[in-house]
Amino acid sequence: MRILVAGATGNLFGWLLSQSGRPRGWFGRLLVRGMNLGHSGLTLWGLSKVEISEQAKVLDIGCGGGRALERLASLASLGKVVGIDYSEDSVAVARKRNQKLIVSGRVEVLHGSVSAMPFSDATFDCVTAVETYYFWPDITADLAEIRRVLKPNGQLVIIAGMYLGSKFDKRNKRRISVGGMRCFSVQEFEDTLQDAGFLNVAVTVEPRKGWICVVSELGANDNKKQLATLEH
Ligand SMILES: C[S@@+](CC[C@H](N)C(=O)[O-])C[C@H]1O[C@@H](n2cnc3c(N)ncnc32)[C@H](O)[C@@H]1O
């Protein structure tokens, strides 16, 4: 019904973008299944820019329909992969898709927001985020929350199918303004991550497709205090 109302009032594009930011209902579930397919090339490309060890404990924020969780579980084959998403419908689709891995204890999918995650300090070796940072409510606070859950030397991998300064700027700027989304340029990514305390920010772009992958790290002493508290 809502889709008809949105179409009739000319807001279909905005409604679709808001569904991408928080998939809801039958359409939302259909959409995240479609994203599992549509984002697979981007996800594989982005994950090829980082080394994930077999033993790694990995968190995928905004896991959507959960295809990246499957891929991460094959990379961290002796580790553990956790997905978190604030759409209950995304969580349901991701759980269904990864049912076997969940039963075997290799994957877990939780409902929650990047802004307040239900994990102890210094839990993860690597945090990934595919096509999701556009929608986060407060990038500065949300990056601080990611920093909290990463172990010292942990890595953050942000993968996105658009960035400012690409040849798709006209299309992307329209999406950003209609959807009320955030979209960084290469320079903005570097500045934002450095300001948030991340080191060795490495940006790779795929100019023909307009994709971007940003890998950054925590220092060896980051979170040391929290880790010491946990160990005692
Ligand atoms: C465009 S979809 C991408 C899904 C998946 N990563 C992929 O590439 O197919 C964005 C996802 O991020 C989730 N999301 C948006 N804001 C979030 C937040 N603040 N905390 C957690 N998840 C969020 C949405 O619910 C949605 O499932």
Q: What angle do CA 97, 102, 105 make, to 5 degrees?
A: 155
Ligand 1 pocket list (CB less than 6 A): 20-23, 32, 35, 39, 61-65, 68, 85-87, 90, 113-115, 130-132, 135-137
Ligand 1, residue 20: give the atom nearest the CA. 1
Q: Which helix (H) or strand (E) holds 92?
A: helix 88-97
pLDDT tens figures, 51-86: 999 999 999 999 999 999 999 999 999 999 999 999
CA-proximal residue: ligand 1, atom 10 (nearest): 132
Distance 231 CA to ligand 1 centre (A): 33
Q: Ligand 1 centroid vs 131 CA: distance in angstroms?
A: 7
Q: How far is the CA of 62 from the centre of ligand 1 (A)?
A: 3
* Tokens encoding 40: 């697979």
pLDDT of residue 226: 52
**Ligand 1 centroid to residue 65 C-alpha, Å:** 9
How far apart are the CA of 221 and the centre of ligand 1, in A?
Answer: 30
Of 85, 175, 211, best ligand 1 pocket probe by most atoms within 8 Å of the beta carbon: 85
Ligand 1 centroid distance, CA of 228 (Å): 32
Per the CB < 8 A criterion, the answer to whether 120 and 146 are in contact is no
pLDDT at 80: 98
C-alpha distance across the termini of the chain, in Å: 55
pTM, two decimal places: 0.92
Question: How large is the average pLDDT for residues 169-187?
Answer: 94
**Which 8-state DSSP code applies to residue 96?**
H
Strands (E) in the chain, as ranges, are: 57-61, 80-85, 107-111, 124-130, 150-160, 199-206, 211-217
Question: pLDDT tens for residues 9-25?
Answer: 558 888 888 888 888 99
Ligand 1 mean position to 229 CA, how many Å? 32
Residue 215's φ and ψ, nearest 5 degrees, are -110, 130
With beta carbons less than 8 A apart as the criterion, state whether 57 and 123 touch: yes
Q: How many CA atoms lie within 13 A of 114 on its CB side?
A: 26
Domain 2-231: which CATH number of 3.40.710.10, 3.30.1490.20, 3.40.50.150, 1.10.10.10: 3.40.50.150
**Spatial separation of the C-alpha atoms in residues 115 and 136, rounded to whole Å:** 8
Residues 94-138 have pLDDT tens digits of: 999 999 999 999 999 999 999 999 999 999 999 999 999 999 999
Coil, strand or helix at 125: strand
Amino acid in position 151: K
Decide: 127 and 183 in contact? Cβ < 8 Å. Answer: no
**pLDDT of 221:** 84
Residues found in the chain: 232
Substitution candidate for ligand 1 out of 133, 135, 176 with most atoms within 8 A of CB = 135
Strands 199-206 and 211-217: antiparallel
Q: Which atom of ligand 1 is nearest to the CA of 114?
A: 20
Between CA 74 and CA 83, with CA 79 as vertex, the angle to 5 degrees is 75
Strand partners, 107: 81
pLDDT exceeds cutoff 70 at 7: no
Domains in the chain: boundaries: 2-231
